[in-house]
Chain A
């Protein structure tokens, strides 16, 4: 087990991501932030708070992708997590998806399907705290907290104070 990001690192990474989002979108006026539960939702809340501080408040929600997964039949049924779409919807908005770890890319594919069911955004961008490689689909992140090269036997564990009591990213060997 090796810690790769501590609370300070996570805070700085999120702050940088927020600034990059503002820079790339020339402000925040057309932005909508959607977090993928569980931990992506907490990260998206933090990014929204930073955006409100450095620019202006943005609509913010959560998007559960469980019903769009392609591996449903490989695992026991999972409980559904909350989906909250901001009142102004996502039609014509620049949507920033937020998740904790980018791995195979399948979660993001499911998220794109879920978004397509709700509306047609002007663009969809992706922000992740950790990109650990091993993509199985042609998907990449627009904003990355940290690239962590891993081997297939390792897994990346993200702990957040909102549910885990502490902020920490670590690599766990042997799954």
Chain B
């Protein structure tokens, strides 16, 4: 059963995840038809509260909400009262007073979504759209959806599937959410990165760690490339971009080494030429664009499950 908020993959058990993926799949079949718009969330207000730059996540949530007929308010920190020094609390209370039913929050501080959900400032459902280097649960869900779409044998679990997550694991909330979700679904996960970009706690994650991309590649059904997050790097984590690219970048040579039938994923935005070469990004193995369209369906499923039913208080009485 779905909770009030979606803050972390840990909020979901395996059955919740499968149910979200199934719902997204049905929504996909419906929007393949003539109509892309469903009346389900008519009259509900969803706020995109983005304190950090984002294009695809915000647009993806916005189009998911609009396809379910919800009203969408976009609120970005730039050009708002936040730049005048308004606190998260005041912003939240303002949104509450405006009657927001759900708040989708992205923030550069880890734990911001949790803070908003626990504070009592707001009664809306809170969806974490990326908080610092902590989590980005809807990205992990859409990645799982994309994997399932490409490996139809693994509909009800990823036992026997091997996923490599490559690159800047240290700064990546996408990697964190994906590790949690992939383990929940039973996949084997290998982190591949220079030692400086593997977080200290990774040894407790029940994953394998490799410092050699070439050795790991022939085993991988799924190669998940991560963006090098220069904006979060205050120190140098590798000697030069060129050296990083040579050791951990996905180029045409490495693409041929991957297990046959495998796929290449990237959460975007891609640094072409750094972690992924242009020909790998545009190759047949690449499912980057599928990830984008699946993002809308998965987020529709999450919004439907959080907002589609009665408010929790009402359910208790019913």
Contacts and interface: CB of A to CB of B under 8 A. Distances in A.
Contacts of A118: 33-35
A117 B26 contact: no
Interface residues of A, number: 21
B65 to A, nearest CB: 14
A67 B39 contact: yes
A117 B310 contact: no
B310 A76 contact: yes
A26 interface: no
A83 interface: yes
Interface residues of B, number: 26
Contacts of B310: 73-76
Contacts, number: 62
B1 interface: yes
B2 interface: yes
B309 A68 contact: no
A64 interface: yes
A64 B19 CA distance: 16
B91 interface: no
A149 interface: no
A165 interface: no
Contacts of A64: 26
A76 B26 contact: no
A81 B26 contact: yes
B304 A77 contact: yes
A79 interface: yes
Contacts of B200: none
Interface in A92-149: 113, 117-119
A8 to B, nearest CB: 35
A80 B26 contact: yes
Contact of A76 (B19, B29, B309): B309
Interface in A54-102: 64, 67-68, 72-85
B5 to A, nearest CB: 14
A77 B308 contact: yes
B236 interface: no
